[in-house]
Chains A and B, each alone.
Chain A
Amino acid sequence: MKIDLTDTTASKINKALVQGRRAIGTPAVGMVLTLVIVTDEENAYDAMRAAGEASREHPSRTLVVIRRVSRTPRDRTSSRLDAEVRVGADAGTGETVVVRLYGEVVGHAQSVVLPLLLPDAPVVVWWPVNAPLDPAQDPLGKLGQRRVTDTYAAEQPIEELTARSEAYTPGDTDLAWTRITPWRSMIAAALDQVNCTVTSVVVEGEEFNPSCELLAMWLAERLGVPVERTLSPGPGLTAVRMETDCGPVALDRADGSLATLSVQGQPERAVALKRRETAELIAEELRRLDPDDTYAAALSFGVEHLYDATGAPVREPGSEARETAGPDGEQTGSGAAEKSAPAKKAPAKKAPAKKATAK
């Protein structure tokens, strides 16, 4: 059932939740967490649908915080809170409250959210778009154990990644990182099968896709070898090629669903590597709520080190089409490269310190 409340308060919303639960006859609820989605009207529908599907695995109270844009000075000085309370069949396996903020209260969303959090249960804050630069210091972000951002949805993904690294606080995580779990597990499984030492790696994928950078940084951080990031038309990640002391190991996925694993001396094998829906990503994200140290380590490795990890990379000029190659990066990659060039100086120094605090 659905209860609409206009010009309301958090305590009235709480009352409506209890009333709604009684009406459908399930006063006892087994919800395991509160998911706060901070979004705008445009992205609210998709985010709520994803959260609804994820709630089948993680029954939760979903609070959708929508900040409305005020277009006149009068609107800006007044203040109003509207809410939509959904329980039962309308809300997956949990409860959903959509709160719309108008005017001044937009800047005080945490005052609305705080009373609506489930007692004891962990809180996850998810920004599908427009995540704050420092999620842990954001008033809403402060309420959560886990803060989920998505650099894939950012205008400048690579710069955003650098910013995430600078602001990293245990509990931060990013859907661009979640997206590559199947890749990571398949590459790890491929290395389980051979007893070789990796000497260099190439990660190939579409431009403006921070997942490629994250995968490259994870590989570089774990393997301690130079990792090259090259561009392709996509979709998403298209290949990881590793040179090892016993021949190349490559995972190619040209069509976004079925990949081929080729290992020197072994037959080629097909591997299903489908690009996943947001609901699956959120469900994976909610499975563990402790800080993701592996993400922290990969992130703090630094985008800029992808190129010069060992000082003197041996590479033909043609392959320098990485977004992070630097001012002389060519063709498609050059635009992003120039923009990210100033930003990458600072984290270069900070990276080691960050790494230490993250552990």
Chain B
Amino acid sequence: MSSAHEANPLRDPADRRLPRIAGPSGLVIFGVTGDLSRKKLMPAVYDLANRGLLPPGFALIGFARRDWADEDFAQIVHDAVKEHARTPFREEVWQQLLQGMRFVQGDFDDDAAFEQLGATIQDLDKAQGTGGNFAFYLSVPPKFFPKVVQQLKKHGLADEQNGSWRRAVIEKPFGHDLASAKELNAIVHEVFAPDQVFRIDHYLGKETVQNILALRFANTLFEPIWNRSYVDHVQITMAEDIGIGGRAGYYDGIGAARDVIQNHLLQLLALTAMEEPASFDAASLAAEKTKVLRAVRLPKDLGSATVRAQYAAGWQGGEKVIGYLQEEGIDAKSKTDTYAAVRLGIDNRRWAGVPFYLRTGKRLGRRVTEIAVVFQRAPHSPFDSTATEELGQNALVIRVQPDEGVTLRFGSKVPGTSMEVRDVSMDFAYGESFTESSPEAYERLILDVLLGDSNLFPRTEEVELSWEILDPIEQFWDRSGKPAQYPAGTWGPVEADEMLERDGRSWRRP
């Protein structure tokens, strides 16, 4: 595709109005009847088409067990788009998409169904001009990954012919520990080349996460103080107010740390702590991220620097909710964590001695994800201690979701005759002003898959390094004790508060 771009006289780097449109291609969604597909993927495809970013003749193939005709499938997509799409529904955009929509019915071990899929792809190449370029989106439980991937191989669907591409898109979890992650990678890479495998971490598609790089590297203001001389510690939080809902089967045995810390939080840590990449291409970014992940050190005493817990029955925002052990389908003796907090260090010149506190949990106070860089107190204050009693530590908070934006907290004099300094916030509210036009993470990521741009996708090494960080913690937890309990609707167990108190710090209330 890139060679065609060079040859195309209408493409000019200076012409910045022209958007990046994906080349001729199609998307095959396995598990198309699932929640993710209906709530995120289909609307994202429509939104891309509505913004004019999909190629003419784009094809969408659904693969699932249901006995549907193409029309039934189109109806499901239609309903999903109407309900969940970000941009207004427009009939002509729908007509454009409709022409390339197909449904293939079958089980994952059904050879005939995969033959049918192959025939549908060839048919679309003829009817829609997709040029043999297809991305296979595996929106299925991880236990089916090997099956689907091997079926794709067996029926020649992963073979790239005459310059076309075939890509695989997989969702987390990428294994449940280092060994299983390596096994999964081996299975996928046996069929698809490593650079044709796209691991979706939808956090990386969020505007606010991409903004971390802009904030750090496009400005001069923050980078000089972004180090151990000024930063006291960093807190990265991802809190959910919901319980496990109907996901008992998936969640039990996995837990919060594997579900969230291993991918989302460690990626956020890498972006916050990494050095400036040589350029913004995928290779340079991955190089810096792996470098910083490699420098992550676990605390010596895992018992005092990690906390895991389960939510107990309680009141969540005015609603009475049951505890984790009472959830349907959960063993009453389960040791799975629904809350996890860890302290990590980064052994390099920039960060030595600065703790990074990562926490995540379900049934916490409210749904929020943020990165708080908390700065040291001024080494000397000319004011009386009474004047600065109410002054906290300066902080820069990147609010990833919701209410996307950046907050800077600093002290300011309270108007009046006496000198009194109090914390105030300076706010950049991305969310308030830009939400209506900010693309959904999945839009960006699907477009990047079609364009072959792997900037925002974690690589194999990053996934494996993350497991190397988490595995010892999980093993320690397996060996010793059992999870603490915290009432639903609070900000986690007292053990977590004590963990920070021992360091002379406290959790921010996000």
Contacts and interface: CB of A to CB of B under 8 A. Distances in A.
B16 A288 contact: yes
B131 A222 contact: no
Interface string B429-444: 1001110110000000
A104 interface: no
A56 B1 contact: no
Interface in B69-98: 90-93, 95-96
A191 B15 contact: no
Contact of A184 (B10, B14, B429): B10
Contact of B437 (A56, A186, A192): A56
Nearest to B15: A294
Interface residues on chain A, size class? 35 or more
Interface residues of B, number: 45
For A57, A178, A261, A266, the residue with the greatest tally of chain B CB atoms inside 10 Å of its CB is A266
B11 A271 contact: no
B17 interface: yes
A190 B56 contact: yes
B50 interface: yes
B300 interface: no
Given A189-B55, A267-B127, A270-B95, A181 B17 contact: yes
A258 interface: yes
Interface string B43-65: 00000011010011100000000
Interface stretch (B19-27, B356-364, B482-490): B19-27
A59 interface: yes
B414 interface: no
A192 B128 contact: no
A292 interface: yes
A287 to B, nearest CB: 8
Contacts of B426: 28
Nearest to A56: B436
A182 B131 CA distance: 23
B236 to A, nearest CB: 25
Nearest to B7: A195
Nearest to B20: A185
Contact of A187 (B10, B91, B428, B432): B10
A93 interface: yes
A284 B127 CA distance: 34
Given A93-B433, A181-B18, A188-B10, A270 B96 contact: yes
Interface of A: 28, 30, 56-57, 59, 93, 178, 181-182, 184-193, 195, 198, 219, 222-224, 257-258, 261, 263, 266-267, 269-274, 283-284, 288, 292-294
5 contacts: A30-B429, A57-B434, A219-B10, A258-B92, A272-B92
Given A184-B18, A258-B95, A274-B90, 16 more contacts: A30-B432, A184-B15, A191-B9, A191-B10, A192-B1, A192-B8, A193-B23, A193-B55, A193-B129, A223-B10, A257-B91, A258-B96, A269-B56, A271-B96, A272-B93, A293-B14
Interface of B: 1, 4-5, 7-12, 14-19, 21, 23-24, 49-50, 52, 55-57, 90-93, 95-96, 99, 126-129, 131, 426-429, 432-434, 436-437
